[in-house]
Structure 1
Amino acid sequence: MTKKTIQLGLVDDHNLFREGIKSLLDKIEEVTLVLEAVNGKDMFTKLNNVVPDVILLDLEMEEMNGVDATLKLQELFPEVKILILTMHKEERMISYLMEIGANGYLLKDTTREELEKAIKTVYKSGFYFNEFVSQALLKGLKNKSGRPLKIGKDYHLTARELEVLELIAQEFTTAEMAEKLFLSARTIEGHRKNLISKLGVKNTAGLLIKAIKEKLIVV
C-alpha cells in the first residue's frame, strides 16, 4: 500500500532560506510542499485554498510574526501541526511556543536528516522534541519546589490515562500503544483526547509539557 504523502507548508520571509529548504525537501520522500508564504498574513490568505498537514514556521516576520501565527493557527486550524524553524535559542521562547500550540521546534542550522525526522515525527506522533529542545524545556518546566510526585488525582486522571500518558512520553505511536495495552487505536485516541481536555492543553506537545510541569510523569 502506498504511504500517504505529507502535505507541507513553508512560511519564512527570507527568499534564499526558503529556496534552500525547498532544495532539501526535494530530497525527502513522502513529503510534498503545497504552500509557500512570506509571512503569517500571506499564509492565512493561502490557507483558503490548501491546508497542509505540517507547517514549517519562522518566528521573525513582518505582517504577522510566528507567535501570532501560531495562536491563530490553533484557533482556526487546530489539526495542522506547527514546526517552528528559527534561530532563536532562548529557553523561555521555546517553552512558550510549545505551550501555546507549537508541535516542535527546530533551529535553522539543523541538518537535512533532522529536518526529515522532525517533519515525519510531528506528523505521525503530534510532537517532536530533539535533545536541545528537551533540555531547554526541562530547565524551564521542572518544578524545583520539591513537592512529591502527583498521581493524577488533581486532574481526575484514571489509571489507564496515566498509563497512556507515560507511553506518549516514551514516543509510542497510537498503534504501538494499542498493541501494548490490548486496546483499539480508537480507544487510545479517546484517552489522548481526554488527557488533552483534562489538562487544559491544545495538543500532544502541550500535554507532555504540562505533564512534566505538574510532575505527572517522571523525566
Structure 2
Amino acid sequence: MTRIFLVDDHAVLRSGLRTLLGQEANVQIVGEATNGQELLDQLPTKPADVVLLDINMPVLDGVATARRLRTEFPQVRVLMLSMIDQPLRIGQAFAAGANGYILKNAERAEIMVGISMVLAGKRFLCSEIGLSLLDTVLTAELRPPVPSAVSPLSRREQEVLQLVAEGLTTHQIAELLFTSKRTIETHRQNILEKTGAKNTAALIRYAIAQGFLPAEGSGGA
C-alpha cells in the first residue's frame, strides 16, 4: 500500500485528487494540508511514502517545503503537482529536492506512473513538459550556428552568462544546471577571458549587446 499525502491550498483540487487516486486499490490518502508547514507538522503522526506537493502556497511554498523534506524527512518522495511549466521553476523544484514534476492537468494514469517512478528512486517529468523542453532543444539545435566572430562562447557558456546577467549566484547557477560550483566558476573564468570583460557589469553589457538580455528601456515604440 502506497501512502500519499496531498498538499495544496485549493480544497477543490485536493478533493479531486482524493477521488481520482481513491480509485487505485494500492493507494491510501493518509493526510491533507493547505501549505508546507501544515504538512511538516502532520508527518510525524501521519507518515507518508509520497507527497503530492503544489508550488504556490501561502506560509511555506512547495520549493521551500521540498528543501525541508530533504533534510527532515529524507525517506519521503516528493512529486510536485503544479500548473507552472516554466523551466526555471521546474529546475528550482528539482534543485530543492523534488523527485518528480507533473502538471495538474495530467491523467490519472500518468500521475500513477509518476508516483511509481519516484517510489523506485528515479526522477520523473510529465510528458507534456518533457515534450515542450525537447521542442525547445531541437529548435535551438536547428538554428544556424552563430559565427565565432560574433559570439566566441559555447552554448553552455552562453547559458551561464545569461544567468549571471540575471543576477544569480554561482551556487544558484550550479543547482539550476545540475552541475558543480567549480564547473560554473570555470565557465565564468572562460567567459571573462573570451569577452575581455573585467567585472559583472561589463558582462551584463556584453550579454545585452549579444541579445542574451533585453536592453533597458527597450519596450518598443
Note whether the superposition's TM-score is higher than 0.5.
yes
Pairwise TM-score range, normalised by the shorter structure: 0.5 to 0.7
In the TM superposition, what is the alpha-carbon distance from 1:120 to its structure 2 partner? Answer: 1.5
1:85–1:108 contact (8 Å) kept in structure 2: yes
Q: How far, CA to CA, are the matches of 2:55 and 2:103 in structure 1?
A: 11
Unaligned runs of 5+ in 1: 147-205, 215-219
Q: How does 1:114-129 map to 2 (within 5 A)?
A: 114-129=110-125
In the comparison of the two structures, how many residue pairs are matched? 147
Q: How far, CA to CA, are the matches of 1:27 and 1:38 in structure 2?
A: 23
Distance 1:24 1:73, change over 3 A: same
Q: How far, CA to CA, are the matches of 1:137 and 1:73 in structure 2?
A: 27
Partner of 1:95: 91
Verify: 1:105 aligned to 2:116, yes or no.
no
1:91–1:136 contact (8 Å) kept in structure 2: no
Partner of 1:76: 72
Q: How far, CA to CA, are the matches of 1:28 and 1:72 in structure 2?
A: 29
In the TM superposition, what is the alpha-carbon distance from 1:210 to its structure 2 partner? Answer: 4.7
Partner of 1:144: 155
Partner of 2:26: 30
2:72 partner letter:
L
Q: How far, CA to CA, are the matches of 1:41 and 1:111 in structure 2?
A: 28
Distance 1:54 1:144, change over 3 A: same
CA offsets, 1:56-81, max 9 Å, x none?
Answer: 00111112111111111111011111
The structure having more radius of gyration, on CA atoms, is 2
Q: How far, CA to CA, are the matches of 2:66 and 2:121 in structure 1?
A: 19
Q: How far, CA to CA, are the matches of 2:132 and 2:97 in structure 1?
A: 17
1:95–1:136 contact (8 Å) kept in structure 2: no
Q: How far, CA to CA, are the matches of 2:56 and 2:48 in structure 1?
A: 21
1:95–1:137 contact (8 Å) kept in structure 2: no
Secondary structure at the counterpart of residue 125 of structure 1: coil
Unaligned runs of 5+ in 2: 142-153, 158-174, 184-221
Q: How far, CA to CA, are the matches of 1:130 and 1:18 in structure 2?
A: 19
Partner of 2:193: none
Q: Give the TM-score, by structure 2 length.
A: 0.59
CA offsets, 1:148-175, max 9 Å, x none?
Answer: xxxxxxxxxxxxxxxxxxxxxxxxxxxx
In the TM superposition, what is the alpha-carbon distance from 1:43 to its structure 2 partner? Answer: 0.7
